[in-house]
Amino acid sequence: MSLFDLSGKVAVITGSTKGIGKAIAEQMALQGASVVVSSRKPDVCDEVAASINARVGEGPGKAIAIPANISHKEALENLITQTRAQLGKIDILVCNAASNPYYGPMTEISDEQFDKIMSNNIKSNHWLCSMVLPEMQARKDGVIIIVSSIGGLMGHTTLGAYGLSKAADMALARNIAVEYGPDNIRANAIAPGLIKTDFARALWDNPEYLKKTMTGCPLRRIGEPNEIAGAAVFLASDAGRYMTGQTLVVDGGVVVGR
């Protein structure tokens, strides 16, 4: 059996109707997992789940759609409850959904914008992890993956609050790893560099910023969503079963090239 095989596993992936989250859902399904596609809009969730099922075909993996707004605890509780009702368990949780409503100097961010970043990028992940950890603990098996960012490792002139939230996500993964490692639960973060997604369009669609980023990147390019999905499959599968509490940087070498 392949080290990357996820047959029989159930994965919940937030923010999985586009970009990195969608790529993770697709690749986990291709490796045999049943995946839950989730974002705010029900029709888009249904569309993406259908496209994954068409791609997987008769393989062991499949996708279902359960919409949820990460801003609302009740919606996340429903996401977890409905997943258990339809698929029986949760083996893998991928906290991918995030918000960044502000781009600029930290001194000019409003309290409302700051609170939204911290709530959606940290508190919602804490909620979700707290909801799935008890069943993983009872089963003595489980994987949690938090999609962070190299913004949590580096200072930035226009993404300061976002970077703060992503540094906290790395700490959340470390704390879960230490607390729940004896129960065979692994928790890791992924820190992508600049990836070509709609979420990061304000950065890569800016010619000046894009040129600066690629010049400082040893691979001289930005990343693609599937390159983050591959890291997620590694962390979720037996290939990564001795890795926990870590932040896996996938950035084309930007951090080490500074």
Considering 162, 180, 209, 242, which one is annotated as catalytic? 162
pLDDT at 48: 98
pLDDT band at 80 (very low <50, low <70, confident <90, very high): very high
Cα distances (Å, whole numbers) of residue 54 to 5, 13, 36, 118, 181: 19, 19, 15, 36, 37
Q: Note down the domain range covering 229.
A: 10-252
Poorest-pLDDT segment among 80-94, 99-113, 208-222:
208-222
pLDDT at 125: 98
Over pLDDT 90: what percentage of the chain?
84
Rounded to whole angstroms, the Cα distance separating 136 from 66 reads 21
pLDDT band at 258 (very low <50, low <70, confident <90, very high): confident
Residue 93 has pLDDT above 90, yes or no: yes
Residue 1 lies in a domain: no
Closest among 203, 212, 197, 224 to 257, alpha carbons compared: 212
Q: What CATH code is carried by the domain that includes residue 179? A: 3.40.50.720
pLDDT tens by residue, 191-236 = 999 888 877 677 767 778 788 888 888 999 888 999 999 999 999 9
How many structural domains comprise the chain?
A: 1
Residue 31 lies in a domain: yes
Residue 183 lies in a domain: yes
Rounded to whole angstroms, the Cα distance separating 37 from 67 reads 7
Half-sphere exposure of 113 (CA within 13 A, CB side): 15
Residue 157 lies in a domain: yes
Residue 258 lies in a domain: no
User: What integer best gives the mean pLDDT of the chain?
Assistant: 94
Average pLDDT over residues 174-181: 98
Which amino acid, one-letter code, is at 135?
E
Rounded to whole angstroms, the Cα distance separating 186 from 244 reads 5
Residue 108 lies in a domain: yes
Residue 3 lies in a domain: no
Question: Residue 233 burial (CB < 10 Å; 0-12/13-18/19+)?
Answer: buried
Average pLDDT over residues 42-50: 98
CB 4 within 8 A of CB 31: yes
Residue 167 has pLDDT above 80, yes or no: yes
pLDDT at 210: 80
pLDDT at 197: 83
242 is catalytic: no
pLDDT tens by residue, 228-250 = 999 999 999 999 999 999 999 99
pLDDT at 214: 80
Residue 30 has pLDDT above 90, yes or no: yes
